[in-house]
Amino acid sequence: MQQISYNSVEDITDDIRKQIGWRIQEKRIEKGITAVDLSTYLNITANQVSRIERGCAGIDIYKLIVICKILGVSADYILFGEMKEENITISKEQFEAINGLISMFGKEKL
């Protein structure tokens, strides 16, 4: 295992965000989904999707769940790079159900 040296917690956080963003972008492009399409699903701007993919911004857990469903990958893959074979799709009804659950718990809609 390669030993990686970091100067601070911020360096680790920046590196992790960049890796997560790279994996999101890789799968998004592989699936033929535009940044605009992904931004619509997440209810954020295309610019924010770009910031996430470049590692300049993080994502909350709720958006991570939707990203995983849309891209058909596990959270393990997005977070750690560990690929599991899954064919996951999200229907409009599932998307609305997720938003409904989030609303019940007082969180902002996706």
The pLDDT, as a whole number, for residue 12 is 77
Q: What is the pLDDT of residues 83-109, one digit of tens each?
A: 655 566 778 888 888 888 887 876 555
Q: What element of type H or E holds 38? A: helix 35-42
Helix (H) or strand (E) holding 68: helix 61-71
Task: Examine residue 28 and state whether it is found in any structural domain, yes or no.
Answer: yes
Domain residues for the domain of 20 are 9-104
Q: Residue 46 and residue 91: Cα distance in Å, rounded?
A: 21
CATH number of the domain to which 92 belongs: 1.10.260.40
Is residue 1 in a domain?
Answer: no
User: Which pLDDT belongs to residue 93?
Assistant: 85
Q: From CA 9, how far away is CA 81, in angstroms rounded?
A: 20
pLDDT of residue 64: 95
- Domain assignment present for 31: yes
Q: What is the pTM of this model?
A: 0.67
Distance from C-alpha of 50 to C-alpha of 25, rounded to nearest angstrom: 9
For 2-19, the pLDDT digits (tens) are: 555 556 667 778 889 999
Domain-located, residue 40: yes
Q: Total domain count for the chain?
A: 1
pLDDT in tens, 19-76: 999 999 999 999 999 999 999 999 999 999 999 999 999 999 999 999 999 999 999 9
